[in-house]
A and B are shown apart, each in its own frame.
Chain A
């Protein structure tokens, strides 16, 4: 782990992965702040936890199923009413494949 060596290029890459169009000023700020937070997190690095299993969740629950039956759901018109753009009962987004 090289948490202390986080560079502005690395921050730029993370911003791209997170789909955040950060400004240059934000890239600079976050590079410093992330480094400081990760530096603090280094205290867990020194722990030897090879034999410890991870806890992902506080409850012993997995794969909760329900019976496959038709149930009342949210109202389509109300859902679409809140969308930025819709067409023919669907969410409308900018073109994602091909050219005109």
Chain B
């Protein structure tokens, strides 16, 4: 098998045994990037020299008989809103152009400590705000499966890098679906863990009560392995859970005793081709012995409205730090206030401004209770309705995205773009884990992902169901150039 087709588990095993050198692994992926990333645009920055350096180091350690770690020699692509000391990080925004962070995110430290090799920083919707990666201030990323389609977003570059075979695994962030939706559109596995399971130290904040870091991979087991590496308490993140852990349990796929609920309200805005694939996935779950039944969670209908008040409100506060004082772009005006206004006007793109405006409005005097306060109450409603559903079911399922990958410019109206997240948002509002697993081909053969939702810290059963789905599917998304 070609090196670029190998998964993380296989690569780590081969590097540890000496069957492959880390340098061979990195070189194979770098040459794939050289050949095809001009068409895809998954990376804002390729860290070729650093990656080669690091690979040689790992090979040297191996010949010295040292322990290499669970991800020995595995290249990893990193969403460019997660910091690595001394490597330009922009959040795909002009306001951070040229910024080199003075510290490294905990997730990256953990990946490196287990032998993973950062290979590049991936493109995203500016500050992770969007569902297509068209909001990058630099360039849009194309869907490798069909280059005239978007890869989804906001972690579009990370999803595309894995789907393109530029890296076997990638890291993204998910505030309202930003890992799961692009995973679905690109035909890869994407996981949003339980809120607090993975440290966010070094993730540039968008909406702090919703943001969570998670993995992309070509297989369920690879995603599970990566999650086990990055999970765990971190004193540098005050929202990191002290008790939460995740242990990789490979090959667990028996779901014969499980009760699986199909969320009725998440079927209504879904296109027919996606519904067709989703229904096949339900048949597959039944064939594996699971009890599959429909469940109604009426409050998820209000998830979108609640999210588009809460997330912008938190963003308007988080993004106040970009003021041209300590880092990033400064446009000097007559006084400090004018300097703030001009710097932010020049540095932020339209979607970021729109969300800051919306959030500022939702938090402003006279609207706070009616908008932000009410949205937080809806959040409680969603949490309690999920709790009720989980008294009858072990996990819940839905389509990840209402449609397959759409075309560039197709959703120029902000509201229609926001609708892309209708099935993914409720898990963020509840703080629950959810993941997308590719299952079949919809319109034009484009990938369709199935979303698995689980109660807080129930990643293990979520992955069990994911493995069962993966085992029942023969679908494999291929880059356009591989046909």
Q: Which residues from chain A sit less than 8 Å from chain B, CB to CB? A: 1, 3, 6, 11, 14-23, 26, 30, 33-34, 36-38, 40-45, 47, 49, 52-59, 61, 64, 66, 74-75, 78-79, 81-85, 91, 93-96
B residues in contact with A78, CB < 8 Å:
100, 102
* Closest 7 A/B residue pairs (Cβ): A58-B431, A54-B376, A21-B341, A84-B330, A1-B370, A64-B238, A55-B379
Contact A40 to B415, CB < 8 A, known contacts A20-B356, A34-B357 = yes
Q: Are B379 and A54 touching (Cβ within 8 A)?
A: yes
The residue from B195, B306, B326, B373 contacting A58, defined by CB atoms under 8 A apart = B195
| Given A14-B361, A45-B370, CB of A55 within 8 Å of CB of B103 | no
Provide the bound-state CA to CA distance between A35 and B103, in Å: 41
Complex Cα gap A11–B102 (Å): 37
* CB <8 Å contact, B348 and A41: no
B371:A1 contact, CB within 8 angstroms = yes
Cβ contact within 8 Å between A49 and B378: yes
Residues of A within 8 A of B414 (CB): 33, 36-37
Task: Return chain B residues, CB-CB under 8 Å to A16.
Answer: 341
Beyond A3-B367, A20-B345, A52-B377, 19 additional contacts (C-beta under 8 Å) are A11-B357, A16-B341, A21-B341, A22-B345, A30-B353, A38-B358, A44-B374, A45-B374, A53-B377, A53-B380, A55-B377, A57-B209, A58-B196, A58-B383, A74-B103, A79-B326, A82-B102, A84-B324, A85-B330
Q: Is the CB of B353 within 8 A of A82?
A: no
Query: Chain A residue with minimal CB distance to B301?
Result: A43
Point out the residues of chain B lying under 8 angstroms from A23, CB to CB.
345
Binding site for A on B (CB under 8 A): 99-100, 102-103, 195-196, 209, 235, 238-239, 241, 301-302, 304-306, 308-309, 316, 320, 323-330, 332-342, 344-345, 348, 350, 353-354, 356-358, 360-361, 364, 367, 370-371, 373-381, 383, 414-415, 418, 429-432, 456
Binding site secondary structure of chain B = helix
Q: Considering the complex, give the chain A residue whose CB is closest to the CB of B329.
A: A84
Inter-subunit contact B305/A41 (CB<8 Å):
yes
Q: Which of the residues B102, B329, B375, B432 comes within 8 Å of A79, measured between beta carbons?
A: B102
Q: Which of A30, A42, A61 contacts B354 (CB 8 A)?
A: A30
B373's nearest neighbour on chain A, judged by CB, is A54
Taking a contact as CB atoms closer than 8 A, the residue among A15, A38, A43, A91 that contacts B302 in the complex is A43
In the complex, chain B residues whose CB is within 8 Å of the CB of A1 = 367, 370-371
Report the nearest A residue to B382, measured CB to CB: A55
Nearest-CB residue, chain B, relative to A19: B340
Q: List A contacts of B364 (CB < 8 A).
A: 14, 17
Query: Of B99, B358, B430, B431, which is within 8 A of A82 by CB?
Result: B99
For A52, the chain B residues whose CB sits under 8 A away are 377, 380-381
Closest A residue to B237 by CB, please name it: A64
CB-CB < 8 A to A95: which residues of B? 335-336
Least distance between B199 CB and chain A CB atoms (Å): 13
Distance of A52 Cα from B376 Cα, bound (Å): 9
Closest to A58 in B: B431
In whole angstroms, what is the CA distance A74 to B105 when docked?
12
Inter-chain CA distance A77–B356, complex, in Å, is 31
Query: How far is it, in angstroms, between the C-alpha of A2 and the C-alpha of B341 when the chains are bound?
Result: 27
Q: Judge whether B376 and A19 touch: CB under 8 Å.
A: no
A83 touches B327 (CB 8 A): yes
Measured in the bound complex, the distance between the Cα atoms of B327 and A79 in whole Å is 8
When distances are taken between beta carbons in the complex, the residues of chain B under 8 Å from A19 are: 320, 323, 337, 340-341, 344
Q: A79 to B103: give the CA distance in the assembly, Å.
A: 9
In the bound complex, what is the Cα–Cα distance between A15 and B348 (angstroms)? 13
Across the interface, name the chain A residue whose C-beta is closest to B375.
Answer: A44
Cross-chain contact B342 with A21 (CB below 8 angstroms): yes
